[in-house]
Amino acid sequence: MNPVTVAAVQAAPVLADRDATVAKVIALAEQAAAEGAGLVVFPEAFVPGYPDWVWRSRPWDATSAELYGRLLDQAVVAGSPATQRLAETARRLGIWLCVGADERDEDGATLYNSLLSFAPDGRLAARHRKLMPTGAERLVWGTGDGSSLTVTDTGFGRLGGLICWENYMPLARAALYARGIDIYLAPTWDNSDVWVPTLRHIAKEGRCYVIGVTACIRGCDLPAGLPGRAELYGGAEDWLSRGNSVIVGPDGEILAGPLTGEDGIIFAHIDAAAARAARQQFDPVGHYSRSDILRLTVDATPRAAVSFHRNDAEAAPSPPDGAEVTS
């Protein structure tokens, strides 16, 4: 297992503008990679941005509908040119690139709050869809299923994570611990002072590295054409998110950050072997569990709302040529 330099990028997206935000991700990833980062992490729903308006507007008024339509149009689809650009960036820079996205299926109109992880060989190696949006977020995002509670081997440690308040779901965390997570990503929109203690707790609970990464964005960062901009947002004094990015070691110690009130990239040099060794002290799914009393079962089956089934053996014989078919 090789040590690696990890980077958390605190920045502002170009809200609801996918291509401009992807360009920003590429530029910032290049900057982080130039500093030696082998893993570069971006905030929750960074492409094309966190739909902050859900906290400021009435759910079903015209502005909200217009913003939802804009977000749907600008959302990220796996396998589309947008993810191809991100994958190509990971490949070109030789990095693991993890980016929060407003994501949807190609033919779907429901958005998911997803964390996409691109490998240095240019694969989309993992996609986690947030299991449970919080409060007003439920107006724009659906719920992911257990199939995306995955942990991916990187060569420098096992990588996974949860998004924002999912990190308060003890069973979801336990599932990732059981998959052997060493490097735990926690993209968030949470600016509160309890957030950093939460990440320190998770690091100690899972004896893993935790990378918290938060957007930093103000009213003046919003594009002029954003629907409802004038009625919902102010200027430089109007913080949508102050940022809160922090990197924590497996004993709960802060390695970098927290960074608030400014853009920046924070770095830490980490060694997953140290996280595993720290589990001598505590292993929540091993020697410090009591499987005779408490066991967790995770349904990791993909749960599509509709599945199509066709059994050709049961199909009626085709009508003879020229016969009229009525129904």
Partner 1 sequence: MTTLRVAAVQASYVLMNRDATIDRVAELTAAAAGQRAQLVVFPEVFVPGTPLWIDGHPIWDGDEDWFALLAENAVQIPGPAADRLAAIAAEHRVWLVVGVDEREPRGGTIYNTVLYFSPGGELAGRHRKLVPTGSERTVWGMGDGSTLPVIDTGSGRISGLICRENYMPLARFYLYARGVDVWLAPTLASGDGWIATMRHLARENRMYVIGVNPVLAAGQVPAGFPARDRLVTAAAAGRWPVAGRRQHRHRGPGRRHPGRTGPPARGNAGRRP
Catalytic residue set: 44, 130, 164
* Residue the block writes with tokens 């770095």: 267
Q: Using the rule CB under 8 A, which residue among 164, 181, 255, 270 binds partner 1?
A: 164
Q: Give the number of other CB atoms < 10 A from CB of residue 261.
A: 13
Q: State in angstroms the smallest separation of the CB of 316 from partner 1.
A: 51
Q: State in angstroms the smallest separation of the CB of 232 from partner 1.
A: 9
Q: Using the rule CB under 8 A, which residue among 15, 28, 174, 256 binds partner 1?
A: 174
- Does 287 bind partner 1 (CB under 8 A)? Our answer is yes
Residue with Cβ nearer partner 1 (290 or 309)? 290
Residue length of the chain? 327
- Does 142 bind partner 1 (CB under 8 A)? Our answer is no
Residue 168 is given by DSSP the state G
- Does 192 bind partner 1 (CB under 8 A)? Our answer is yes
For residue 139 the two structure tokens come to: 């107006």
- Distance in angstroms (rounded) separating the CA atoms of residues 174 and 162: 11
Q: State in angstroms the smallest separation of the CB of 285 from partner 1.
A: 9
Task: Name, in order, each residue with C-beta under 8 angstroms of 65's C-beta and a sequence gap of 6 or more.
Answer: none
Does residue 80 contact residue 25 with C-beta atoms inside 8 Å?
no
Q: Using the rule CB under 8 A, which residue among 92, 179, 201, 269 binds partner 1?
A: 201
Q: Using the rule CB under 8 A, which residue among 18, 70, 129, 204 binds partner 1?
A: 204
Residue with Cβ nearer partner 1 (92 or 242)? 242
Q: Which residues between 298 and 327 bind partner 1 (CB under 8 A)?
A: none
b/e per residue 67-97 (b: at least 16 CB within 10 A):
bbebbeebbbbbeeebbeebbebbbebebbb
- Does 103 bind partner 1 (CB under 8 A)? Our answer is no
Residue type, 127: R
Judged by CB under 8 A, the number of residues near partner 1 is 54
Residue with Cβ nearer partner 1 (38 or 243)? 243
Cis peptide before 48 (omega within 30 of 0): yes
Q: Using the rule CB under 8 A, which residue among 103, 205, 221, 271 binds partner 1?
A: 205
Question: 294 φ, ψ to 5°?
Answer: -130, 120
Q: How far is CA 308 from CA 171, 304, 305, 311, in A?
A: 31, 10, 10, 10
End-to-end CA distance of the chain: 65
- Distance in angstroms (rounded) separating the CA atoms of residues 14 and 20: 6
Residue with Cβ nearer partner 1 (106 or 292)? 292
Q: Using the rule CB under 8 A, which residue among 30, 132, 168, 229 binds partner 1?
A: 168
Kindly state the greatest CA–CA separation across the chain. Answer: 78
Q: State in angstroms the smallest separation of the CB of 132 from partner 1.
A: 11
Q: Which residues between 12 and 71 bind partner 1 (CB under 8 A)?
A: 52, 55-56
Enumerate binding residues for partner 1 (CB under 8 A).
52, 55-56, 134-137, 164-165, 168, 170-171, 173-174, 177, 188-194, 196-198, 200-202, 204-205, 233-234, 237-242, 251-253, 280-282, 284, 287-290, 292-296
